Amino acid sequence: MIKKRPPIVTVFGHIDHGKSSLLDAIQKTNIVSTEAGGITQKISAYEIIYNNNKITFIDTPGHEAFAQLREKGAKIADIAILVIAADEGVKPQTVEAINYIKTYKLPFIIAINKIDKPNANPERVKQQLAELEIFVEEWGGDIPSVNISATKNMGLNDLLDLIVLMGDLLSLSYDDESLGEGYILEVSKDSKKGIIAGAIILNGRISIGNYITTSYASGKIKFLEDAFGNKITEAYPSSPVLIYGFEDMPSPGEIFKITEKKDIEKIKIELKKKYFYSKEIKTEGEILNVNLIIKVDYWGSLEAIENILSQISELYKVSFKIVKGDVGPITTEDLKLSKQTDSFIINFNLKISNKTQEEIKNLNLILIDSRLIYEIKDRLIELIDSLKNKTDHKGEVEVLALFNKNSSKKTVGGKVIAGSIKINDRILILRDNNIIGRGKIINIKINKNNVSEVTKDNLCGLLVNTKIDIEIGDRLLVI
């Protein structure tokens, strides 16, 4: 039986232009406060009912590193909303979103946000769009636009009315009697629950007990949850859903199908298409090779980090080899592999147990750990600088005491545990083997006397030029 299908609406926009705040206002929930750094770092899907009409929203990250996630959001959308801040206008990710909208021929609505700001200028936004050959209705075009303020709840009903109208005009439908199929948005791994796939259903229905397969993974559905974490027994098209039961990791961007157990391998072959995963990122005229093990919360985060590696590779003439990229916490096997392959570890948005921290320290491995994507980029650049600037008198100091400090200078006491340290040496500051910043040695004392160098096994006082708050137990590594 053919039934009406709710529209899938993907929300695009430059970072901080108010995408998550808009969804927050629409749902009357508090998404923004739960996001690390106030930005969306994964695709999130939400479902609402407005005037008896169901609408599914997909929120995409605005940070430049997450281009591949934004493209996934475009692939499955029926309608796009392009959020543009009235006080800032068109920005780089705005242009990128417009390109995706054009590529996938999506009908879309311009949502000019933050109109309550003193310097808001919606007309300037429309002019900038016209320069990109995007003409809103008020400027003689056919693209609807609406002025909104997500934080003041202004214009939201007008926006929702437009979405409902556009969905009706598209005549979206699905076959209720067909076997379910859909699109994998994201994948994560839980030590107790196993593999969790975040997905959108595109046709048919899926139920607990169904056999499910993609081109690379299969299993039997054990549990289902809706977008708000409620347990459900079945789900229908346009619904965002969490699927538990995959035996192997599916990849974001794959199509899944419900099938009979005997047909799994046949359907896998039918669905088989290569999922692009770059294990090596090379550059012309490389002067440095870096091995990495990358552990992330979601596959989309791995894609974002790969984008960052590509940028750094080009700018700094560094080639990267991803020895292992995986979802889920750092394991003992990861640490062994890191030691064997001389790899640095990137840990993104995952907790590290005290036992693992101790193992990292004992094995003397270098870790880059953060919940924020732009910090990963900064710390990678610091690591690259340290590797490029290695000198013959490389030294290392363990911090044993803290003395005076201000915003830019810190006085510490320590012991040289390797090599030597000299005035004007540039240093990396490590805490639990995680690079937290850098600085410069501007004065050295031994027994209150100024000296120019301290060698291994000697105690000293150091004046360090840095904005980082140094703590006892930190290590200062000469670069």
Tally of structural domains, the chain: 4
Q: Which of 26, 185, 308 is nearest to 325 (CA)?
A: 308
How far apart, in whole angstroms, are the C-alpha atoms of residue 297 and residue 463? 39
CA angle 395, 397, 401 (to 5 degrees): 165
Last residue of a domain, one of 172, 190, 225: 172
Let me know whether 304 and 364 are in one domain. yes
How far apart, in whole angstroms, are the C-alpha atoms of residue 76 and residue 238? 10
Helix 354-362 vs helix 332-341: angle between axes, to the nearest 10 degrees?
Answer: 20
User: Amino acid identity, residue 24?
Assistant: D
Size (the chain), residues: 479
Q: Which DSSP letter does residue 205 get?
A: B
Residue 246's pLDDT is 94
What's the whole-model pTM score? Answer: 0.55
Let me know whether 156 and 200 are in one domain. no
Let me know whether 148 and 21 are in one domain. yes
Let me know whether 75 and 201 are in one domain. no
Last residue of a domain, one of 346, 371, 388: 388
Last residue of a domain, one of 128, 149, 172: 172
309: domain CATH number is 3.40.50.10050
> In the structure encoding, which two tokens stand for residue 370, read together?
């953060």
Residue 38's pLDDT is 37
Let me know whether 468 and 423 are in one domain. yes
Residue-number span of the structural domain to which 255 is assigned: 176-271
Chain centre to alpha carbon of residue 334: 21
- Helix, strand or coil, per DSSP, at residue 471: coil
205: domain CATH number is 2.40.30.10
Chain centre to alpha carbon of residue 343: 22
Residue 372 parent element (H or E): none
Digit-by-digit pLDDT tens for the chain (479 residues) are 788 889 989 888 887 888 878 888 887 743 444 444 433 334 467 788 888 888 988 776 544 444 454 555 567 789 999 999 999 999 988 888 888 788 778 899 999 999 999 999 999 999 999 999 999 998 889 999 999 998 898 999 999 999 999 999 988 888 877 889 988 877 888 888 899 888 889 889 899 999 999 887 899 999 998 877 889 999 988 888 899 999 988 877 778 999 999 988 888 877 764 333 445 777 777 667 888 999 987 777 888 898 899 888 888 888 888 888 877 788 877 888 888 777 899 999 888 988 888 888 888 888 999 988 888 988 898 888 777 665 444 788 999 999 877 778 899 999 999 889 999 888 888 887 777 777 889 999 999 899 999 999 999 999 998 888 899 999 998 87
The percent helix, strand, coil of the chain (3-state, each to 5) is 25, 40, 35
Residue 35's pLDDT is 43
Pairing of strands 288-296, 344-348: parallel
Burial class (CB in 10 A: 0-12, 13-18, 19+), 247: exposed
Let me know whether 384 and 407 are in one domain. no
Residue 362's pLDDT is 83
How far apart, in whole angstroms, are the C-alpha atoms of residue 354 and residue 363? 14
Let me know whether 350 and 456 are in one domain. no
Let me know whether 86 and 207 are in one domain. no
Let me know whether 380 and 302 are in one domain. yes
How far apart, in whole angstroms, are the C-alpha atoms of residue 15 and residue 94? 9
Let me know whether 30 and 110 are in one domain. yes
Let me know whether 341 and 298 are in one domain. yes
Residue 389's pLDDT is 63
How far is residue 171 from each of residues 167, 168, 273, 389, measured CA to CA in Å?
Answer: 7, 5, 30, 62
Let me know whether 303 and 159 are in one domain. no
Residue 136's pLDDT is 93
82: domain CATH number is 3.40.50.300
> In the structure encoding, which two tokens stand for residue 469, read together?
């708050």
